[in-house]
């Protein structure tokens, strides 16, 4: 199944384009007529258009990648990320600070009416519990300032993946109105549950077998990468023109199913 969207004449930059959700998103964009600039550590095996190497953990690499982007993008789709089995410092750099730096640097290259979509996770569903800290981090002015904040403020290293996905949801939501008002660009995020990609087993390690198995049971199994790619492309398209600052949960109903277990008393 494919989205019935005509994206001819549109050009998108996609991070993480070489594998998983990013690869599925890139292929579907091309099938819909869009041009794609693939941003990743390694070039995609698929013939999807231009490739620019980027290491989101390295500010210099981000700056170099942005310098190679054209000035007429229709959107930026931030799909790249690392699992919770990597070092907390790397998680901070790739899943939040690098993504944020890239996004802020690319905004001038996105035409008015364009869109940014960030891939968060249902692991970040408890962002409200830590919103004060996340807003402090969001207020830091640069990659380096954010890294300094991370170094001196307490945050749960043992749940670094979830914590920085929370931070991404908060940053996306908090900045959305200002970005639209100043640049005419919409920014939203999606929060997938378990997805059938090579790194699913690493999530069993970092998030815990019980949590992942519960989400799989509630959602009816793991999503395919294409199941996440379609909503990403929808949010990047004009069909979602009135959606701003939203976090779209894509987990087969796993999160919603938990409401059935809440006991209400009069």
Report d(CA 88, CA 101) in Å as an integer: 18
Among residues 97, 102, 257, which one has the least CA distance to residue 163? Answer: 97
Instruction: Specify which residues 11 forms β-bridges with.
Output: 35
Average pLDDT over residues 164-168: 98
Task: Assess contact for 98 and 147: CB atoms under 8 A.
Answer: no
Domain 11-247 has CATH 3.40.228.10: no
pLDDT of residue 134: 98
Show which residues are catalytic. Answer: 161
pLDDT of residue 214: 80
First to last CA, the chain: 45
Tokens for 209? Answer: 């077998």
- Domains of the chain, residue spans: 11-247
Average pLDDT over residues 153-163: 90
Average pLDDT over residues 78-106: 97
Q: Per DSSP, which regions of the chain are E strands?
A: 11-15, 35-40, 49-53, 73-78, 110-119, 186-192, 247-250
pLDDT digits (tens, 9 = 90+) for 175-224: 999 999 999 999 999 999 988 877 767 767 667 777 778 877 888 888 89
pLDDT of residue 5: 81
Among residues 192, 207, 210, 168, which one has the least CA distance to residue 83? Answer: 207
Tokens for 124? Answer: 């970040």
**Is the pLDDT confidence value at 253 over 80?**
yes
**Is the pLDDT confidence value at 73 over 60?**
yes
Write out the H or E segment, with its range, that includes residue 229.
helix 225-236
pLDDT of residue 4: 58
Average pLDDT over residues 127-154: 97
Task: Assess contact for 234 and 3: CB atoms under 8 A.
Answer: yes
- Helix, strand, coil percentages, rounded to 5, for the chain: 50, 15, 30
Task: Assess contact for 254 and 195: CB atoms under 8 A.
Answer: no
pLDDT of residue 1: 47
Express as a percent the part of the chain with pLDDT over 70: 94
**Is the pLDDT confidence value at 266 over 70?**
no
55 φ, ψ (degrees, to nearest 5): -120, 105
The more confidently predicted of residues 91 and 259 is 91
């Amino acid at each position: 199944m494919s989205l019935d969207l005509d994206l001819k004449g549109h050009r998108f930059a996609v991070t993480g384009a070489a594998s998983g959700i990013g690869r599925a998103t890139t292929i579907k964009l091309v099938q819909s007529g869009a041009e794609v600039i693939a941003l990743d550590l390694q070039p995609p095996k698929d013939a999807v258009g231009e490739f620019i190497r980027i290491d989101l953990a390295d500010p210099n690499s981000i700056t170099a990648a942005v310098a190679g982007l054209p000035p007429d993008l229709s959107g930026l789709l931030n799909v790249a990320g690392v699992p919770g089995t990597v070092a907390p410092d790397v998680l901070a750099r790739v899943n939040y600070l690098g993504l944020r730096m890239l996004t802020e640097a690319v905004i001038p290259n996105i035409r008015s009416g364009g869109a940014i979509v960030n891939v968060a996770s249902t692991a970040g569903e408890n962002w409200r519990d830590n919103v004060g800290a996340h807003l402090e981090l969001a207020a830091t002015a640069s990659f380096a300032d954010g890294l300094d904040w991370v170094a001196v403020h307490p945050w749960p290293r043992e749940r670094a993946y979830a914590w920085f996905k929370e931070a991404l949801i908060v940053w996306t939501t908090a900045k959305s109105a200002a970005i639209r008002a100043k640049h005419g660009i919409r920014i939203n995020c999606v929060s997938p549950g378990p997805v059938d990609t090579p790194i699913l087993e690493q999530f069993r390690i970092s998030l815990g077998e019980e949590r992942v198995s519960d989400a799989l049971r509630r959602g009816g199994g793991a999503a395919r990468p294409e199941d996440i790619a379609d909503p990403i492309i929808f949010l990047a398209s004009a069909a979602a023109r009135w959606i701003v600052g939203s976090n779209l949960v894509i987990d087969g109903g796993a999160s919603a199913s938990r409401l059935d277990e809440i006991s209400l008393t009069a």
